[in-house]
């Protein structure tokens, strides 16, 4: 009996040691998730383009002015028009140039009487942030017997698209972001969804990833005009994998940036609204999404001296 007890006790001791030692061997902690970065922007958002999952969020549902990032929706409405013909010719009106001069707005420097294609107008709208080019698109794709009626119609189409996308915190009163009444607003979350929608279109993606674009058009004098536009989005060519999308700057809106980048099989789409260091902010939250650390050493692509700024 005593011998049996000893054997049982020994076995129990061995079991105890094994039970205690096993967890110790498996107690390697999983690496902690990287802390979300701090950004200067008053509002910011980042989503996974495939899953739509939120990757980063700051005041994501607070309404703010969006300046020229409005033009993402301008382009999206044109490109989603049934039967859209990107080679359709549009004659540049003096009204487009007068508007830019009156507002002191960024411009594609379209010349009155030139015949430019819709494709060219998209580049002129998105790269140099040409308010004259955006005006031409609104005039061409709105309906009505007057320019004013066609502009109003086009803006209604922008709002209809926002409703279609179920965006409850977005409203447009402008085709280019110049808002007289201040009723041109969105949120970081809504604007990221607009960008995500626009990026589904291959023509849109081709436009917004270009750092520059050179093209020719029939000029009013019968000759040929050459237009050269540079993309105001300096994240392109600066952050590895950047593929767009649009800058915006306004008195009420502050500096804004809508951006996207792809690394491997992952594409992220993000928004910075009213950020004093928008490019670094964008790089930091992209790094957060990619698990990278390139923002610290990123050097911005330099724009030519004659390029538009936005």
Q: CA–CA separation, 137 vs 140, rounded Å?
A: 5
For the record, the structure tokens of 132 come out as: 């004259």
- Catalytic residue, candidates 58, 106, 129, 161: 129
The residue annotated as part of the active site, out of 58, 71, 161, 280, is 71
Helix axes 71-79, 118-126, angle to 10 degrees: 160
Nearest alpha carbon to residue 191 among 173, 165, 215: 165
Q: Considering the candidates 68, 106, 174, 238, report the single residue annotated as catalytic.
A: 68
Examine residue 267 and say whether the peptide bond preceding it is cis (omega within 30 degrees of 0). no
Dist CA 69 CA 204 (whole Å): 14
Distance between CA atoms of residues 306 and 310, nearest Å: 13
CA-to-CA dists, residue 190 to 170, 179, 270, 284, angstroms: 7, 18, 11, 21
The 8-class DSSP code of residue 209 comes to T
68 is catalytic: yes
- Six-digit token pair at 231? 């993309």
Compute the Cα dihedral for 208, 214, 217, 219 and give only its sign.
positive
Of 169, 178, 170, the C-alpha closest to 151 is: 178
82 is catalytic: no
In sign, the C-alpha dihedral spanning 166, 63, 209, 40 is negative
Q: Annotated active-site positions, please?
A: 68, 71, 129
């Amino acid at each position: 009996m005593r011998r049996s007890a000893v054997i049982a006790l020994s076995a129990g001791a061995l079991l105890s040691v094994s039970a205690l030692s096993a967890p110790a061997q498996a107690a390697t902690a999983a690496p902690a998730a990287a802390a979300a970065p701090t950004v200067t922007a008053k509002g910011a958002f980042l989503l996974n383009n495939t899953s739509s999952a939120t990757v980063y969020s700051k005041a994501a549902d607070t309404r703010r002015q969006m300046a020229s990032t409005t033009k993402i929706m301008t382009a999206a409405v044109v490109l989603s028009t049934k039967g859209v013909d990107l080679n359709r010719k549009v004659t540049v009106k003096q009204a487009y140039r007068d508007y830019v001069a009156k507002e002191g707005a960024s411009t594609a420097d379209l010349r009155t009487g030139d015949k430019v294609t819709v494709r060219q107008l998209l580049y002129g709208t998105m790269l140099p942030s040409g308010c004259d080019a955006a005006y031409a698109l609104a005039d061409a794709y709105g309906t009505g017997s007057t320019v004013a009626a066609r502009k109003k119609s086009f803006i209604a189409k922008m709002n209809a698209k926002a409703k279609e996308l179920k965006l409850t915190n977005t409203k447009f009163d402008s085709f280019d972001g110049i808002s007289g009444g201040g009723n041109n607003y969105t949120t970081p979350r809504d604007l990221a969804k607009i960008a995500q929608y626009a990026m589904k279109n291959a023509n849109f993606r081709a436009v917004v990833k270009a750092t520059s674009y050179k093209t020719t058009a029939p000029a009013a004098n019968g000759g040929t005009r050459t237009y050269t536009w540079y993309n105001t989005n300096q994240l392109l060519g600066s952050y590895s994998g950047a593929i767009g999308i649009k800058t915006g700057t306004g008195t009420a809106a502050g500096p804004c940036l809508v951006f996207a980048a792809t690394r491997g099989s992952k594409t992220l789409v993000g928004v910075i609204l009213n950020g004093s260091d928008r490019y670094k902010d964008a790089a930091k939250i992209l790094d957060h999404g990619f698990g990278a650390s390139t923002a610290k050493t990123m050097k911005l692509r330099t724009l030519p001296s004659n390029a538009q700024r936005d």
